Structure 1
Amino acid sequence: MEKIEANKELIAACGFYCGACRKYLADKCAGCHDNEKATWCKIRSCVRSHDFHTCAECHKDVAKCKIYFNFIGKIFAFLFNSDRAACIRYIEEHGEQAFAEEMTKRKCQTIKRK
Structure 2
Amino acid sequence: MKPIVPDTQSIAACGLYCGACRKFLIGKCPGCKRNEKAAWCKIRSCCQENKFNTCAECPHDVKECKVFSNWIGKVFAFLFNSDRAACIRYIKEHGEQAFAKEMTQRKCQTIKRK
Query: Does the alignment reach a TM-score above 0.5?
Result: yes
Identity %: 70
Task: Tell me, in whole angstroms, the C-alpha distance in 2 between the residues paired with 1:67 and 1:4.
Answer: 30
Cα 1:81–1:34, aligned 2, differ >3 Å: closer, same or farther?
same
Q: 1:73 is matched with which residue?
A: 73
Q: 1:109, CA displacement in angstroms?
A: 0.1
Cα shift at 1:2: 6.3
For structure 1, the residue ranges without an aligned partner over 5 or more in a row are none
- 1:4 deviates by 2.3
- 1:93 Cα shift? 0.2
Aligned amino acid, residue 50 of structure 2: H
CA shift, 1:5, in A, is: 1.3
The corresponding residue for 1:85 is: 85
Residue number in structure 2 paired with 1:102: 102
Q: Give 1:3 shift.
A: 4.3
Amino acid at match of 1:59: P
How far the C-alpha of 1:50 sits from its partner, in A, is: 0.3
AA paired with 2:60? K
Output one character per residue of 1:56-114: Cα deviation in whole Å (capped at 9) or x when no partner: 00010111111001122112111211000000000000000000000000000000000
* CA distance in 2: counterparts of 1:28 and 1:80, whole angstroms: 20
**In the aligned structure 1, how far is the partner of 2:68 from the partner of 2:46?**
9
State the number of aligned residues.
Answer: 114
Supply the AA of the counterpart residue of 1:66.
K
* Alignment RMSD: 1.3
